[in-house]
Amino acid sequence: MTNKPQLSLEDISRLGEKFYTEKLREKLEKEHMGKYAVIDVEKGKYYIDADRLVAVEKARKESGDILFYIIQIGSVQNPGMNFNAKKYAWNF
C-alpha cells in the first residue's frame, strides 16, 4: 500500500488561494460574506460556517486530520492553514 505524500504548506496555500479565487469567491461572497470557508485542496471540497472551528470540524469529519486552507469569505488578507491537535485548529 502506497501512502500519498502530503502537500507542502506552500502548495496548500497556493492551491487554496487559486481554488477560492477562481471557483468560489464570486458565489460565496454573495451568499456567505464574513463566514469562514475551509478548503480541502486535494479533494476540491469546501465547508462553510460562521464559526471557524465549527467549519474545521465539518471538514475533519469528511477529510480527516489533514491541513486545510482557511479563509474568511470576503477577506483575502487573512488566509491560513490549520494544524489539528485534538479538537483545535490554529491559523498562521
Residue by residue, pLDDT tens for the chain (92 residues) are: 445 667 888 899 999 999 999 999 999 999 999 999 999 999 999 999 999 999 999 999 999 989 999 999 988 555 555 554 333 444 44
User: What local confidence, expressed as pLDDT, does residue 54 receive?
Assistant: 96
Strands (E), 21-72: 36-40, 45-49, 69-72
- Structure-block grid coordinates of residue 51: 464559526
Strands (E), 50-92: 69-72, 80-81, 83-85, 88-90
User: What local confidence, expressed as pLDDT, does residue 5 receive?
Assistant: 61
Cβ neighbours for 80, distance < 8 A, ≥ 6 positions apart: 69, 70, 71, 91, 92
User: What local confidence, expressed as pLDDT, does residue 60 receive?
Assistant: 95
Helix (H, G, I), strand (E, B) or coil at 36: strand
Residue extents of the structural domains in the chain: 9-90
User: What local confidence, expressed as pLDDT, does residue 82 receive?
Assistant: 54
